[in-house]
Amino acid sequence: MQFPPQVLAAAVAADATRPALTFYDDTPDGRGERIELSRRVLATWVAKAANALQEGLDVQPGSVVLVDLPAPHWRLAYWALAVWSVGATLTVDAHEGADVLVTADPDGDLAEDSDEVVAVALPALSRDFGRELRSGVMDEAAELASYADDFTAWDDPDPDDTALVHGGERTTYAELLPDPGEVPQGARSLLTTTDPGTFVRQVLQVLDARGSAVLVRGGVPADDDSRLTAEGVDHRCATTSPA
């Protein structure tokens, strides 16, 4: 079986310069932001985040990381892949026992119950979180660049270890990857689901199919296909959770 880091590595090896994620933020706060990450650039973000988790926060197989970021979003994608690169458990459910919280809301209720917090500024060009953070909170925008571009896990998870907690259900590493054919090979897939657990699995499906994803936060009007045509979208991922 393949683990998520091997899926990403295989996609990079196949064509490192091909887009992996193209993200549009059509929410009122997004100001029409568009960002595109090649497979190599995505892998770099994943490596930096994984190094921050492993070296900076002592995350390892058996650790639980709660990623509280919106879907669909490119930052949620690389943090999810980073958690899986370390071999830890990713939860998108509120989890009192989480070892680390990665969040865009470091002053929220979840952060009050977390000893280790990573504050994530969502805008692409952020150089810091934008305001003062409480002592001990990692400012991702200011600190992530200091971590290495390559990552080697200290330990590997077992296939039966929990990879994802979503909607109260646990998915093991052995169960995480879909059956071949969930996403057409090489497809340019549209991802619009606002469910974070569904979204992170769809990103993995797209990478496993050696495809690329267009993420639209804020939805796509049913009668407006001009952007999708321009982006070459030829497949739409479901907005419901995978069975």
The CATH number of the domain holding residue 174 is 3.40.50.12780
Number of separate domains in the chain: 1
> Using 50, 70 and 90 to split pLDDT, how confident is the model at 161?
very high
Do the domain assignments include residue 139? yes
Q: Is residue 72 assigned to a domain?
A: yes
d(CA 107, CA 137): 10
Contact assessment for residue 214 and residue 233, using Cβ atoms and an 8 Å cutoff:
yes
Residue 242 lies in a domain: no
* Percentage with pLDDT > 90 across the chain: 82
The whole-number pLDDT of residue 112 equals 85
Given a cut of 50, is residue 243 above it in pLDDT? no
The tokens for 169 are 């259900």
Whether the predicted pLDDT of 222 surpasses 70: no
DSSP state letter for 241: -
When the pLDDT of each residue in the chain is averaged and rounded to a whole number, the result is 93
Q: Judge whether residue 242 has pLDDT over 90.
A: no
Domain membership of residue 146 (yes or no) is yes
Residue 127 forms part of a structural domain: yes
Of 188, 210, 190, give the one whose Cα is nearest residue 199: 190
The pair phi, psi for residue 142, each rounded to 5°, is -85, -25
Amino acid at 110: L
Q: Which of the four pLDDT bands, split at 50, 70 and 90, describes residue 88?
A: very high
Label residue 80 exposed, middle or buried (CB < 10 Å: 0-12, 13-18, 19+).
buried
**pLDDT at position 241 over 60:** no
Structural domain including 167 reads 4-236
Does residue 14 register a pLDDT over 80?
yes
Residue range 127-143: mean pLDDT, rounded: 95
In a domain, 241, yes or no: no
Cis? peptide before 157, omega within 30° of 0 = no
Asked whether residue 131 is assigned to any structural domain, the reply reads yes
Residue 243 lies in a domain: no
